[in-house]
Amino acid sequence: MNHIEVWQYETHRPASEELWFAWCNQVERILGDSLDGDEASDGYSLDSAYEAFVARITPTQYCNGQRA
């Protein structure tokens, strides 16, 4: 394995991870805040966001639910 192959192996991200990051970016743009919150005080957190992502809830639906 050459250096380029090692770099490609070490920096590869699966498509599912790319989708998760894109989903998070959309939510953070809508919220105007980082998703790394405390569920009890902020009403959202990375854990609840990931559950929503897996359940195929859209970023808009997630944010509307958190604001309700």
Q: Which residue has the higher pLDDT, 26 or 8?
A: 26
Backbone angles phi and psi of 21, in degrees to 5: -65, -40
Q: 45 and 35 in contact (C-beta within 8 Å)?
A: yes
Let me know if residue 6 belongs to a domain: no
The confidence band for 17, taking pLDDT boundaries of 50, 70 and 90, is confident
Range of the domain at 58: 14-67
Let me know if residue 20 belongs to a domain: yes
Let me know if residue 4 belongs to a domain: no
**What are 22-54's pLDDT values in tens digits?**
999 999 999 898 998 888 887 888 999 999 999
Let me know if residue 18 belongs to a domain: yes
Q: Collect all residues with Cβ–Cβ distance below 8 Å to 40 and sequence separation of at least 6.
A: none
**So what's the pLDDT on residue 28?**
94
Kindly give the interhelix angle for 15-31 and 59-67, rounded to the nearest 10 degrees.
40
Mean pLDDT of the residues in the chain? 87
Number of domains in the chain: 1
